Chains A and B, each alone.
Chain A
Amino acid sequence: MKRYSIVLFLAAVCTLSAASSLSVGKAELKSAGQLAFNPQGILFVGDAMGGAIYALDTDDSKASAGVAVDVKGANLKIAALMGTTPDQILINDIAVNPLSHKVYFSVSRGRGPEAVPVLLRLDTLGKFQEIALGKVKHSKVELPNVPSAEGRQGANKRMEAITDLAFVDGNVFVAGLSNEEFASTLRSIPYPFTTADKGTNVEIFHGAHGRFETNSPVRTFVSYKIAGKPHLLAAYTCTPLVKFPISELKPGQKVMGTTIAELGAGNRPMDMIVYTKGGTDYILMNNSSRGVMKISTANLEGYEGITKKTDITGVPYETLAEFKGVEQLDLYDSTRALMLIRGEAGSLDLKTISLP
Chain B
Amino acid sequence: MKIFLLAIAVAVTLRASEIRMEKSGGGYFFRITDATGSDDFTVTVDQPDAPPMLGSVTREGRTLQFSPRFPLTPGMKYRAVWQPLSGNAQTAIFEVPKPIVARSTLVTSIFPSSNQLPENQLKIYIHFSAPMAKGEAYRRIHLLNSNGEEVLLAFLELDEELWDREGKRITLLFDPGRIKRGVLPLAEVGGALTPGGKYRLVVDAGWLDATGLPLVKGLEKRFAVVPADRQSPDVALWKVTVPTAGTPLVIGFAEPMDEALLHRMILVRSENGKEILGEVKVDAEETLWSFQPHTAWTVGNYTIEVDTALEDLAGNKIGRLFDVDTLDKVDDTQRTPKIILPFAVR
Chain A residues packing against B (C-beta within 8 Å): 33, 48-49, 77, 79-85, 88, 90, 92, 108-116, 127-128, 130, 146, 148-159, 161-163, 177, 179-183, 207-216, 236-240, 262-268, 270, 288-289, 309, 312
Q: Write out the residue numbers on chain A whose beta carbons fall within 8 Å of the beta carbon of B161.
A: 161
Q: Within B151-201, which residues are at the interface with A (CB < 8 Å)?
A: 152-153, 156-167, 169, 171, 173, 175-178, 180-189
Q: Write out the residue numbers on chain B whose beta carbons fall within 8 Å of the beta carbon of A130.
A: 54, 69
B326 within 8 A of A: yes
Expressed in whole angstroms, the minimum distance between the Cβ of A47 and any Cβ of chain B is 12
Expressed in whole angstroms, the minimum distance between the Cβ of A119 and any Cβ of chain B is 12
Cross-chain contact B164 with A85 (CB below 8 angstroms): no
Docked CA distance A179–B156 (Å): 12
Cross-chain contact B182 with A182 (CB below 8 angstroms): no
Cross-chain contact A309 with B164 (CB below 8 angstroms): no
Cross-chain contact B311 with A181 (CB below 8 angstroms): yes
Docked CA distance A115–B132 (Å): 11
Docked CA distance A83–B72 (Å): 6
A157-B169, A179-B162, A266-B185 known; A149-B263 Cβ under 8 A: yes
Q: Write out the residue numbers on chain A whose beta carbons fall within 8 Å of the beta carbon of B277.
A: 150-152
- Size bracket, chain B contacts: 35 or more
Cross-chain contact B134 with A111 (CB below 8 angstroms): yes
Q: What residue in chain B is nearest A182 (Cβ atoms)?
A: B315
Docked CA distance A265–B263 (Å): 34
Docked CA distance A154–B162 (Å): 18
Cross-chain contact B183 with A88 (CB below 8 angstroms): no
A80-B53, A214-B180, A238-B177 known; A152-B188 Cβ under 8 A: no
Docked CA distance A209–B267 (Å): 39
- The winner among B68, B181, B183, B317 for most chain A CB atoms within 10 A is B183
What are the 5 closest A-B residue pairs judged by CB atoms, nearest first? A112-B210, A151-B277, A238-B177, A265-B185, A113-B167
Q: Can you spell out 21 A-B residue pairs with CB atoms less than 8 angstroms apart?
A: A77-B51, A82-B54, A148-B264, A150-B277, A154-B263, A163-B160, A179-B163, A180-B261, A182-B122, A182-B322, A208-B183, A213-B323, A216-B180, A238-B177, A238-B180, A238-B183, A239-B184, A264-B184, A265-B185, A266-B185, A312-B187
Cross-chain contact A239 with B185 (CB below 8 angstroms): yes
Expressed in whole angstroms, the minimum distance between the Cβ of A114 and any Cβ of chain B is 7
Q: Write out the residue numbers on chain B whose beta carbons fall within 8 Å of the beta carbon of A92.
A: 159-160
Q: Write out the residue numbers on chain A whose beta carbons fall within 8 Å of the beta carbon of B278.
A: 151-152
Expressed in whole angstroms, the minimum distance between the Cβ of A120 and any Cβ of chain B is 9
Contact of B70 among A83, A210, A237, A268 (CB under 8 A): A83
Docked CA distance A262–B184 (Å): 6
Cross-chain contact A152 with B264 (CB below 8 angstroms): yes
Q: What residue in chain A is nearest B266 (Cβ atoms)?
A: A149
B133 within 8 A of A: yes
Q: Write out the residue numbers on chain B whose beta carbons fall within 8 Å of the beta carbon of A262.
A: 183-184
Q: Within B301-320, which residues are at the interface with A (CB < 8 Å)?
A: 309, 311, 315, 317, 320
Contact of A112 among B78, B133, B309 (CB under 8 A): B133
